[in-house]
C-alpha cells in the first residue's frame, strides 16, 4: 500500500494538492453570474413604463430662466480706465459716397465739350455710326454704339443727336448746323457736289488713282458722303457679310470709283466689313493709307478693285 502511494503519478499528486484552486474559480464564476442576474432583474423593475416614457419624451423641458442683462455705464467706464468715448456716427464727419442719380428717361443736353459732326443710321440700329469732335483736344473721330466719348458711353444714335450714358445721367450731344444722314432710311439722295478735275482717274477696269484731297474730304464729311448712296448691312445665310449700296447718285464718288447699285463691300485692305467695329477700325486706317484694296460681291461674283492715293 505504501509502495502504491509512493509511485503515484505527479499529475495526480498536483491535482490533490491544489484542488482548492478549482473550487475557488467555480465560486468566482458563480458569484459573477448571480450578480448579472440580480442586475438585470433590478433594471427591468425600475425601468419606466412605455406610456410614461413616451409622455416624458414628448414633454417640453422648461426653459431656463436667463439672468437679466446688465447695462454698462459707458461714461463711468471711460472715466475709470481714462479712455475717450467714441463719437456718434453723425458727429464723426465721415464722408458718405454720393449715390448715383436716378436714370431719367428724358435726355438732357450734355455738359461735355463735344460737337456732333454727322450721323450714319443703319438698320439694324446697332450698326449706326456717328462723328464727334472733342473740343478739348480738337480731335474728330467716328464712334459706334458702346464706344466711350470723353468718358460717357454712347448707347443710341439718332438722326440729329447722340445719346450718352454719362455716369448714370441720360444726356445727348447735337449740332443743328450739321446735317445727319440716314444710311438705312435716308431720303432721296441729293446730287453730288461738283468735284475737282482729275480727282479720280481710271487706269483699267479695276484700277484707279485717287487724289489725296478727295479721300480726306470724303472721310472728314460723312454726312455729305452718305447722301450720295444708301448703305445697309448685308446678310448671307443669317450672317453679316458686308455693306450693300444702292440708289447711287450719278457722278458721285461711288460712281467714279466703279461702285454699282447692288454691290456688297465685303473687305477693305483685307479687313472684313461685317460689324460697326470693323468699319470704324478701317475708317481710322484709311486716313494714312497710300493704297486701298476693296473686295466687292457683284451678282454672286467677287471683284477686287485697287485704288492708289496720290
Predicted pLDDT at 89: 56
Q: Are residues 244 and 168 in the same domain?
A: no
Which pLDDT does position 287 carry in this prediction?
A: 72
pLDDT attached to residue 183? 39
Taking the CA atoms of 171, 176, 178 and 183 in sequence, report the sign of the dihedral they define.
positive
Task: Examine residue 278 and state whether it is found in any structural domain, yes or no.
Answer: yes
Residues 156 and 246 in one domain: no
Nearest in space to 172 (alpha carbons), one of 112, 119, 128: 112
The answer to whether position 272 is within a domain reads yes
| Residue 38 forms part of a structural domain | no
In a domain, 277, yes or no: yes
pTM of the complete model beyond 0.85: no
Same-domain pairing of 301 and 251:
yes
> Is 145 within a domain?
yes
pLDDT of the chain along its 310 residues, tens only? 444 445 556 656 666 676 677 777 777 777 777 777 766 766 666 655 554 444 444 445 555 566 666 666 767 766 776 667 666 655 555 555 666 668 888 999 988 988 888 787 777 787 788 888 888 888 878 788 888 999 999 999 988 899 999 999 999 998 754 444 443 434 444 444 444 445 888 889 899 998 888 887 777 776 677 778 888 788 888 788 888 888 888 888 888 899 999 999 999 888 888 776 677 777 777 777 888 899 999 988 999 999 998 8
Q: Do 153 and 253 lie in a common domain?
A: no
What's the confidence (pLDDT) of residue 178?
43
Q: At which of 174, 209, 225 does a domain end? A: 174
pLDDT for the residue 55: 47
CATH number, domain with residue 138: 2.30.30.830
What is the model's pLDDT at position 154? 94
Do 229 and 156 share a structural domain? no
| Cα–Cα distance, 133 to 115 (Å, whole number) | 5
* Domain membership of residue 167 as a residue range: 108-174
Instruction: Give the model's pLDDT for residue 153.
Output: 93
pLDDT score for 242: 85
Q: What is the DSSP pairing of strand 291-298 with strand 114-120?
A: unpaired
Answer yes or no: is 301 within a domain. Answer: yes
- 219 and 304 in a single domain? The answer is yes
Are 215 and 292 in the same domain?
yes
Q: Which residues contact 271 (CB under 8 A, 6 or more apart)?
A: 278, 281, 282, 285
Q: Report the domain count for the chain.
A: 2
- Rounded-to-integer distance, Cα 296 and Cα 265, Å: 5
- 158, 174, 190 - which closes a domain: 174
Assign residue 267 the CATH number of its domain.
Answer: 2.30.42.10
Same domain flag for 220 and 260: yes
Q: Which of 277, 274, 265, 278 is nearest to 305 (CA)?
A: 265
291 and 244 in one domain?
yes
**Based on the domain organization, do 163 and 214 belong to the same domain?**
no
Q: Is residue 6 situated within a structural domain?
A: no
The verdict on 162 and 212 lying in the same domain is no
- Domain-embedded: residue 183: no
Residues 206, 301, single domain; the answer is: yes
Amino acid at each position: 500500500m505504501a509502495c502504491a502511494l509512493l509511485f503515484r503519478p505527479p499529475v495526480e499528486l498536483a491535482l490533490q494538492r491544489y484542488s482548492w484552486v478549482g473550487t475557488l474559480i467555480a465560486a468566482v464564476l458563480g458569484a459573477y453570474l448571480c450578480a448579472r442576474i440580480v442586475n438585470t432583474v433590478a433594471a427591468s423593475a425600475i425601468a419606466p413604463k412605455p406610456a410614461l416614457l413616451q409622455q416624458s419624451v414628448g414633454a417640453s423641458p422648461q426653459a431656463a430662466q436667463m439672468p437679466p442683462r446688465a447695462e454698462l455705464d459707458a461714461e463711468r467706464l471711460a472715466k475709470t480706465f481714462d479712455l475717450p468715448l467714441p463719437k456718434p456716427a453723425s458727429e464723426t464727419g465721415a464722408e458718405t459716397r454720393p449715390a448715383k442719380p436716378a436714370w431719367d428717361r428724358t435726355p438732357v443736353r450734355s455738359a461735355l465739350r463735344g460737337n456732333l459732326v454727322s450721323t450714319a443710321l443703319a438698320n439694324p440700329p446697332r450698326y449706326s455710326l456717328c462723328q464727334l469732335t472733342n473740343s478739348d483736344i480738337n480731335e474728330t473721330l467716328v464712334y459706334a454704339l458702346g464706344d466711350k466719348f470723353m468718358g460717357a458711353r454712347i448707347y443710341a444714335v439718332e438722326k440729329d443727336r447722340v445719346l450718352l450714358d454719362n455716369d448714370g445721367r441720360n444726356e445727348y450731344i447735337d449740332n443743328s448746323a450739321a446735317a445727319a444722314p440716314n444710311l438705312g432710311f435716308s431720303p432721296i439722295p441729293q446730287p453730288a457736289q461738283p468735284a475737282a478735275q482729275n480727282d479720280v482717274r481710271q487706269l483699267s477696269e479695276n484700277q484707279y488713282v485717287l487724289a489725296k484731297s478727295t479721300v480726306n474730304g470724303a472721310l472728314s464729311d460723312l454726312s455729305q458722303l452718305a447722301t450720295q448712296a444708301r448703305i445697309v448691312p448685308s446678310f448671307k445665310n443669317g450672317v453679316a457679310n458686308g455693306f450693300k449700296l444702292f440708289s447711287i447718285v450719278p457722278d458721285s464718288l461711288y460712281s467714279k470709283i466703279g461702285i454699282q447699285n447692288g454691290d456688297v463691300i465685303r473687305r477693305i485692305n483685307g479687313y472684313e466689313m461685317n460689324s460697326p467695329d470693323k468699319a470704324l477700325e478701317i475708317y481710322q486706317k484709311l486716313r494714312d493709307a497710300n493704297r486701298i484694296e476693296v473686295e466687292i460681291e457683284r451678282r454672286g461674283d467677287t471683284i477686287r478693285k485697287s485704288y492708289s492715293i496720290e
